[in-house]
A and B are shown apart, each in its own frame.
Chain A
Amino acid sequence: MNQMTATGNSKEAQRKILVLGATSGIAEATCRIWASQGASLFLVARNQEKLAAVAADLRARGASFVDTAVADLDDTDRHPALLAHAVNSLAGLDVAYLAHGILGDQTRAEQDFNSAAHILHTNLMAPVSLLTWLANFFVQRRTGTIAVLSSVAGDRGRKSNYVYGSSKAGLSAFLDGLRNRIDREGVTVLTIKPGPTKTAMTSGMKGSEKFADANSVAKSIVAAIEKHVDTLYVPFQWQPIMFVIRHIPERIFKKLNL
């Protein structure tokens, strides 16, 4: 499993990391840890102003190198050029971190297919496009780590957010298969399943003051990448919780309000 020899002693200081969706709350918190370790970062996000604010912060915190690109990752046609540019800018790549995604509006998606399709496109189709390129890139080099933010919501569809949940279920299944294919080639695939986390995406949601802190979620993600973990539930309590939820018989589950 440990094939990091290609990057020499693979110290965090020399780490070259590509972050897709770098202005998302969890991604930004993760990047702050990497920056303080002296990593080199290539950040991709949609909004120029937010991206610039995040990049300046990471430079101040000690990142060895920070480059950015503004891109709408829904535009899959642009992916190959974008990814090639990132690898070029970093002069290599050790970790690809996919953190972009949208929560969407479940109620609207129930009425309007286009709205549902948009969630599926952003959260599933776009990552599949990115992962196809990245997997083949890393397999060629027989090293590297792909870390992807999925969600506990993908473990079982619930009426409150099953469109978002199904996009993440598809993503998790894709990652399981990808891992099965390329782990043996020296490439680590990490599926990250955060529970509800306090970020801009969830602000104003009911009970959001009790959500997990993005910084502690980020710490667990950095540690999981270092340890070449396959699947990370974070905070860890979500692993037994989701185990129970997955095993509730459907004839009972269908009557629950979750």
Chain B
Amino acid sequence: MATASSPTAQMKLRVEDGQNKGKSTFESWGRYPTYAANIIPLHWQGDFPAVAQNLHNGILPVGLGRSYGDVCLLKDGNLIATPAMNRIIAFDAETGLLTAEAGISLAQILDFAVPRGFFLPVTPGTKYVTLGGAIANDIHGKNHHVAGTFGRHVTEFELVRSDGTILRCSPSENENFYAMTIGGLGLTGLIRWASLQLKPIVSRMIDYEGIQFHGIDEFLALTEASKEIEYTVSWVDCTSTGKNFCRGVFMQGDHSTKRAPLKPSPEPKLVFPFDAPGFALNSLSVAAFNTVFFHKQMSKRVVTLQDYEPFFYPLDKVLHWNRMYGKSGLLQFQYVIPWNNAREGTVAILREVAKSGLASFLAVLKAFGDVPSPGVMSFPRPGITLALDFPIKPDKSFPLFERLADMTLEFGGRLYPAKDAAMTAAQFQAFYPEWEQLARFRDPIITSSFWERVTGDQPSL
């Protein structure tokens, strides 16, 4: 069972271009690990499985590579890239049911839907993910406590297996494939198109409120008080100890109900232009950032009307912001711990992080609700979720990560595969005992570096 706890596992292979399909490095958002792969873009629904015939090694459908670790990587394999397959198939302007090819991005869906008075039912912190990727990772957002995961709003989709079998999947048709594909990490087949139930809006604006809190109990009280509010999320400072331990800003919002022009969003202009040097992010600069962020909000409570772009996608303003972490990349760590241990577990893990001195630039804290997902392998469950970023420091990051993962396990929680590059096979299999079901529904030639790492399961070619 290869764990990625050794930094030497990181490799960058440069392979000369093949005659037709170029071998190149497809990066996940964390830029760790980096593997060479053969990238095969899909342009048309009919291209698959034809493009996957006579290939050596396994295949993996991928979207925009916004997952952080290796769920979207396949070392020396074939990545079936879907973003060029992004057509709208049908849209019902009355009900807001959108059917589109799976490579369409949430950004493209918003460009289409917002001027027509509709919004995504669930959105993650970036709009640069594909519809197929959102299903495969059963993503969640700030409204998990009321709306559940993304998969809950996917009424049906078409799954194509590498043997050419086409399965229409919904809660009432091929139910088992529907349940295994939502959160199925792309392993059950290629999602060719999907239908997504959008929700009506009358304005781009969000009625926003930001509230400073000190300590986990204030966070929990705010969570309890905001149950009726659609979107809630907190930024938490995990560098501070002592009286500032677990201080943060609780951010909440609802779609404004005051009619306002539904213009499309302007295109982002800022691009993080180069890889920052390794020393740029250190415990001092991150602590400074955290202090500034905390006090940027001058008063205890800020109420304002905010456009949805900065509310949902503050980091999308700077394309390639991951370059800030330099060439060695970043590790994400996201757990959910069920309510019975949520408070204790979160405090313990935050203490461990603060003690380690390994800076976490962004730490996001949120309470998940109890709306069930149709996906068997779906990550969220009722409790507290915390997401942390770490720059990769060879001798320190991986041991810390392994400690945090073990603590998560002790508290009955689990980690999010879409954010992971380091959990061990034993940890994964304890977090997700359902993995053996997914193994049975996996397409025989589809696999990922993540899947091979945490299961040892190989494609049968």
Residues of A within 8 A of B (CB): 25, 49-50, 53-54, 56-57, 60-61, 200, 203-206, 208-209
Contact = CB atoms under 8 A, between A and B. Distances in A.
Nearest to B20: A204
A56 B17 CA distance: 36
B84 interface: yes
B89 A56 contact: yes
A61 B84 CA distance: 17
A158 B288 CA distance: 56
Contacts of B41: 200, 203-204
Given A25-B84, A50-B44, A204-B40, 20 more contacts: A25-B43, A49-B44, A50-B46, A53-B89, A53-B101, A56-B87, A56-B88, A56-B89, A56-B90, A57-B89, A60-B89, A60-B112, A61-B112, A200-B41, A200-B43, A200-B84, A203-B41, A203-B43, A204-B21, A208-B22
28 contacts: A25-B43, A49-B45, A49-B46, A50-B44, A50-B46, A53-B45, A53-B87, A53-B89, A53-B101, A56-B88, A56-B90, A57-B89, A60-B88, A60-B89, A60-B90, A60-B91, A60-B112, A61-B112, A200-B43, A200-B44, A203-B43, A204-B20, A204-B21, A204-B22, A206-B17, A206-B22, A208-B22, A209-B24
Contacts of A57: 87-89
Contacts of B24: 209
Instruction: Indicate the member of A25, A54, A57, A208 with the most B CB atoms within 10 Å.
Output: A57
Closest 10 CB pairs of A and B: A57-B87, A60-B88, A200-B43, A60-B91, A204-B21, A203-B41, A57-B88, A204-B20, A206-B17, A53-B87
Interface in B239-282: none
Interface of B: 17, 20-22, 24, 40-41, 43-46, 84, 87-91, 101, 112
Contacts of B17: 206
Interface SS of B by simple majority: mixed
A208 B39 CA distance: 11
Nearest to B89: A56
Contacts of B20: 204
A183 B454 CA distance: 67
A59 B295 CA distance: 49
A137 B87 CA distance: 33
Nearest to B26: A209
Nearest to A216: B267
Contacts of B112: 60-61
B110 to A, nearest CB: 14
A183 to B, nearest CB: 34
Nearest to B116: A62
Contacts of B90: 56, 60
B122 to A, nearest CB: 22
Nearest to A28: B87
B37 to A, nearest CB: 13
B195 to A, nearest CB: 13
A200 B83 CA distance: 12
Contacts of A209: 24
Contacts of A49: 44-46
Nearest to B18: A204
A204 B18 CA distance: 9
A208 B43 CA distance: 15
Contacts of A200: 41, 43-44, 84
Given A61-B112, A204-B22, A53 B44 contact: yes
B248 to A, nearest CB: 38
A217 to B, nearest CB: 14
Instruction: Indicate the member of A49, A50, A53 with the most B CB atoms within 10 Å.
Output: A53
A203 B20 CA distance: 9
A53 B40 CA distance: 20
A224 B306 CA distance: 36
A63 B45 CA distance: 22
Nearest to B111: A36
A205 B22 CA distance: 7
Contacts of B45: 49, 53
Contacts of B88: 56-57, 60-61
B21 A54 contact: no
A173 B45 CA distance: 38
B85 to A, nearest CB: 9
A206 B87 CA distance: 26
B217 to A, nearest CB: 49
